[in-house]
Chain A
Amino acid sequence: MALNWTRFASPASFYPLAGTMIPWFGWGAAVLTAIGLWLGFAVAPTDFQQGEVYRIIFIHVPSAWMSMFLYVVMAFWGALLLGFNTRLSGMMAQAIAPTGALMTFVALWTGALWGRPTWGTYWAWDARMTSELILLFLYFGIIALRQAIGDSRRADRACAVLSLVGVVNIPIIYYSVQWWNTLHQGASVKATGASMETTMLAGMLVMSFAFWFYAIAVVLVRVRAIMLERERGAAWVAALAEVKA
């Protein structure tokens, strides 16, 4: 059986699909958060160096991962838009940007709260913090560019070009600030194995999936709103049960 993927490139057929997926990912996020926080706050042992403070890692690391991952996903949708000129791609990219910015902000904020007791400062001009701050500016730039363009089709394409230029630049920015200054602790999770307790790692991974599910659910809710707004003149919108009611 060949599944016809391109069928869902049309807002009319993706709208109901997104509607069915939202509760699954929404509730999935809630359950995973509960498990992750339980692992993080009740099961994982106290860190021998940092004490209880380290437990913010269960929010900090997943949000930092998502902040970078979402930018790449947004750029991917931008590339699809420029390549295939599919309306849905632009809507997805638009829906992802605010969540990406939120994740970046959470990562920075929790980082500041973590830095105060461990490094003795809320902010340091460290490589990862600086590149995360620049990532936040990139998200703001994309959101602001979209706001400034009235026509949604032009906005989609302009934001796609900007996010693709940004995605080429992100590794360069990352390494440039890394060579420039480094204070941040090295990555705790590497491909060769993690330098932490199994329960800590489990809590962090579960929280990462929770953030992932949350991001998917929120993006789908937002993309449905964008579809309704942009296609308000279309027949399929007028035929929706919730619009008729």
Chain B
Amino acid sequence: MTMTATVPAVVEAASGADQDGALAGLRWAVTRDLRLAMRSRAELGVQLLFYVIVVALFPLSMTPERNLLATMGPGVLWVAALLASLLSLPRLFASDHADGTLEQIALSPYPLEALIAGKVLAHWLTTGLPVALLAPLLALQYYLDGESVAILVAGLLLGTPILSLLGAVGAALTLGLRGGGGSLLALLILPLYVPVLIFGAGAVDSVRAGLGATANLSLLGAGLALALVGTPFAAAAAVRIALD
């Protein structure tokens, strides 16, 4: 008896032209999660609105003075991106875990690492990417100049995938725990987000100081490469532990 008999979609995908395993699994997971995300577009919209509102709160908490806002802007936008990523993490595995789909996914013939990488990619496409694309509009509220905005977006494009990748590990570790989705996940993941925040916001700062952002952006790129290689394995291990 094959365990996969209970997952028609997976079997169907596996019996297709590409039997190659990892890539096919990745593609399957991306399409499935994107389709699911598109069916709950309101939820995605709410997450983006959260990002917009957090960014808009900071000027209200002080005198909205032009220089001050331009200095704080990159950091505020980055912190808001971190929080938006954090809030959307439970969506990665929680509902699949609740209805048993995650167990079936783990039993599928595809490598679990590839399936998780696909889920993370779909998560980034629906949260990190919109956040990066929305950033120029919000940066205008903080009086950032054109070059700073360009670097901010470049940093977000490099950094938000790291947030999704690291977040997947935390989301998998806290699956099905008491109070798992909320503050515990934040405690586990936010300290690990620190380097992304420092390099991302630092890139814009160094451009504003006339130093050029190459160093910071390169470090973000290196971090992305490292996270791409390592985190799918850690997340897969965490999912297996949660399903044990």
The answer to whether A and B come from one shared complex is yes
Contacts of B191 in A (CB 8 A): 134, 137-138, 141, 173
Contacts of A154 in B (CB 8 A): 241-242, 244
Query: Which segment, of A44-52, A160-168, A196-204, faces chain B?
Result: A160-168
Q: How far is the CA of A177 from the CA of B238 in the complex (A)?
A: 28
- In the complex formed, the residue of B with least CB distance to A134 is B191
Q: How far is the CB of A179 from chain B (nearest CB, A)?
A: 8
Number of A-B contacts (CB under 8 A): 73
Q: How far is the CB of A56 from chain B (nearest CB, A)?
A: 26
For the side of the interface on B, what is the size category? 20 to 34
Q: Does A17 contact B (CB under 8 A)?
A: no
Query: Which segment, of B7-15, B152-160, B179-187, faces chain A?
Result: B179-187
- Interface of B, secondary structure class, is helix
Contact B241 A148 (CB under 8 A): no
Contacts of B174 in A (CB 8 A): 145, 148
Q: Does A169 contact B (CB under 8 A)?
A: yes
- In the complex formed, the residue of B with least CB distance to A138 is B191
Q: How far is the CB of A104 from chain B (nearest CB, A)?
A: 12
Contacts of A148 in B (CB 8 A): 174, 177-180, 184
Interface residues in A122-181 by Cβ distance below 8 A to B read 134, 137-138, 140-141, 144-145, 148-149, 153-154, 157-158, 161-162, 164-166, 168-169, 172-173, 176-177, 179-180
**Which of A144, A165, A179 is the one whose CB lies under 8 Å from B187?**
A144
Q: How far is the CA of A145 from the CA of B179 in the complex (A)?
A: 10
**Which of B177, B180, B194, B241 is the one whose CB lies under 8 Å from A177?**
B194
Q: How far is the CB of B72 from chain A (nearest CB, A)?
A: 15
Contact A145 B202 (CB under 8 A): no
Q: Does B121 contact A (CB under 8 A)?
A: no
Q: Does B87 contact A (CB under 8 A)?
A: no
Contact A162 B188 (CB under 8 A): yes
Q: How far is the CB of A15 from chain B (nearest CB, A)?
A: 26
Q: How far is the CA of A177 from the CA of B195 in the complex (A)?
A: 8
Q: How far is the CB of B205 from chain A (nearest CB, A)?
A: 9
Q: How far is the CA of A157 from the CA of B243 in the complex (A)?
A: 12
Q: How far is the CB of A100 from chain B (nearest CB, A)?
A: 14
Q: How far is the CA of A204 from the CA of B180 in the complex (A)?
A: 42
Q: Does B144 contact A (CB under 8 A)?
A: no
| A161-B169, A169-B195, A176-B198 given; A145·B188 CB < 8 A | yes
Q: How far is the CB of B7 from chain A (nearest CB, A)?
A: 24
Q: Does A82 contact B (CB under 8 A)?
A: yes
Contact B223 A145 (CB under 8 A): no
Q: How far is the CA of A138 from the CA of B190 in the complex (A)?
A: 9
Contacts of A145 in B (CB 8 A): 173-174, 184, 188
Contact A176 B188 (CB under 8 A): no
From B178, B179, B195, B223, name the one whose CB has the most chain A CB atoms within 10 angstroms: B195
Q: Does B36 contact A (CB under 8 A)?
A: no
Question: What are 5 of the A-B contact pairs (CB < 8 Å)?
Answer: A82-B237, A148-B177, A157-B244, A158-B241, A165-B231
Interface residues of B (CB under 8 A from A): 166, 169, 173-174, 177-180, 184, 187-188, 190-192, 194-195, 198-199, 202, 219, 223, 226, 230-231, 234, 237-238, 241-242, 244
